[in-house]
Amino acid sequence: MRPNSLHAADLAHLVHQQTDLGAHESEGAILIASGNGVRVTDTEGREYIEAMAGLWCASLGFSERRLAEAAYKQMLALPYYHTFFQKGHEPSVRLAEKLAAIAPEGLGHVLFQCSGSEANDAAIKLIWYYNNIRGMPQKKKLIGRVRGYHGNTVATASLSGQPHMQADFDLPLGDRFLHLSNPNYYRFGQEGETEEQFSARMAEELEALIAREGADTIAALFAEPVQGGGGAITPPRGYFDLIQPILKRHDILLVADEVICGFGRTGSLWGSETYGMQPDMLVCAKQLTASYQPLSALLISDPIHAALMAGSRKHGSFGHGFTYGGHPVACAVGLETLAIYEERDIIGHVRAVSPVFLEGLGALRDHALVGDVRGVGLIAGVELVADKASKAPFPPAAKVGLLVQERCQAAGLIVRAIGDRIAFTPPLIITAEEIREMCGRFKAGLDAAWAEIEGKALA
């Protein structure tokens, strides 16, 4: 444990989220004190390149003054108001107008919430509401995917395919949550199976699931264009092209969870654009405000919005909302963030530096620890394997991913180990030079980890 009083107070009082609490108790936490561009500095003065942009989110890095100024200006003008009871405020209207203008076709209505979890939770509620209003009360089941991540509320953790977020929390809740296989071609593609054949097998699994459960019981499929929390897993070729017609045929909605992919991460404004998805709802958050303020948005199609209108007529009100949903300060920061993206052509920048990023990480395929490198835009996953030829994984108890993460940290690089996949989503403003530095530090971390495990029998 680090002996200063801040770390002692942290250990005594702060419950860290998504943390190995035992490791925290024995080792303490890294407490971040400040940021500059793509770098952050901890309370002990150590500097890191933040190759995860925090939690896949700080798209404009850690020192964008314009966002701080937009927040301050809005706080002085109107620090708080809500959108309940026919009230509202300009920042939420202007941001909704802006999102509707840039949204994928047909998603012209915007419901603001505070987090990705809340927006996905609201999507679930609206889907159930929609099917009740249109007289299909049996059509309520939701399909997620193994290792998919949609949030941590009771419903969204049930929809997610992350067993450690369900065990002992009494989740998944009820019997409305179904899961398809994880579409990781490298890990789950069969011997001799092409990527396209793997996608076809995934689509057949969807057909079989619908046949088994009955299309009249299934309301929607939620999918991240690129699975983030699952390990930065890009979809296999043709995956969404095969999945979508099946959903359409069975009147099953598609919700694109763009909490990570939205606003340029994949090299297009939306991940849906990159992968040809035509969602009925789209969830975005994180990069909507560059994460300088908590804000998420659920973009809704006309038919679903019409159901909200009909329901409101029936019940006298649309009965959903949060105190801080569409907070004016968060919306003002969101507007400024989107203005900066356009002024600086952030998507053009992502496209320009993406080859440096993907080739820089790709060059590490030769490393003894690396089995696979896959990514798009500025998101990538590096899978560590015990045997490159057979793709045999390390035994989970050996925690090789965590070892690499720690050795990277010692080399001045924050990455995230998801099991034995190392995820990268640097701030979108990262330069080619900084990417090269990032890759150099990653190689140093890999080398240090390899020096410790080479030749050892891991169990």
User: Which chain residues interact with ligand PMP by CB under 6 A?
Assistant: 55, 115-117, 120, 149-151, 224, 228-229, 257, 259-260, 285
Nearest residue relative to ligand PMP (C-beta): 116
With respect to ligand PMP, which residue has the nearer C-beta, 133 or 157? 157
With respect to ligand PMP, which residue has the nearer C-beta, 423 or 439? 423
Could you write out the DSSP letters of every residue in 340-408?
A: HHHHTTHHHHHHHHHHHHHHHHHGGGGSTTEEEEEEETTEEEEEE-SBTTTTBPPPGGG-HHHHHHHHH
With respect to ligand PMP, which residue has the nearer C-beta, 50 or 257? 257
**From the CB of 274, what's the least distance to ligand PMP, in Å?**
15
**From the CB of 419, what's the least distance to ligand PMP, in Å?**
16
**Beta-sheet pairing, 39-42 with 47-50:** antiparallel
**Beta-sheet pairing, 413-414 with 47-50:** parallel
**From the CB of 96, what's the least distance to ligand PMP, in Å?**
19
Other C-beta atoms closer than 10 Å to the C-beta of 420 total 24
**From the CB of 133, what's the least distance to ligand PMP, in Å?**
26
With respect to ligand PMP, which residue has the nearer C-beta, 149 or 292? 149
**From the CB of 104, what's the least distance to ligand PMP, in Å?**
17
Asked if 308 and 299 count as a contact pair (C-beta separation under 8 A), the reply is no
Give residue for tokens 């043709």.
Answer: 238
- Give the full edge-to-edge strand order of the sheet including 109-113: 109-113, 296-300, 281-284, 253-257, 218-223, 141-145, 177-180
With respect to ligand PMP, which residue has the nearer C-beta, 264 or 371? 264
Q: Which of 67, 139, 137, 128 is nearest to 329 (CA)?
A: 67
| Displacement of CA 266 from its chain's centroid (Å) | 12
- Between the two ends of the chain, the Cα-to-Cα distance in Å is 27
**From the CB of 161, what's the least distance to ligand PMP, in Å?**
12
**From the CB of 67, what's the least distance to ligand PMP, in Å?**
18
With respect to ligand PMP, which residue has the nearer C-beta, 177 or 450? 177
If phi > 0 it is left, if psi is from -120 to 50 it is alpha, else beta; for residue 333 that is alpha
With respect to ligand PMP, which residue has the nearer C-beta, 151 or 264? 151
With respect to ligand PMP, which residue has the nearer C-beta, 228 or 311? 228
**From the CB of 121, what's the least distance to ligand PMP, in Å?**
9
Give residue for tokens 């899978």.
Answer: 383
Give residue for tokens 């809704």.
Answer: 300
With respect to ligand PMP, which residue has the nearer C-beta, 413 or 423? 423
Residue 18 sits at φ, ψ, to 5 deg, of 40, 55
Which tokens hold the place of 455? 């030749």
List of E strands, 181-261: 218-223, 253-257
**From the CB of 436, what's the least distance to ligand PMP, in Å?**
27
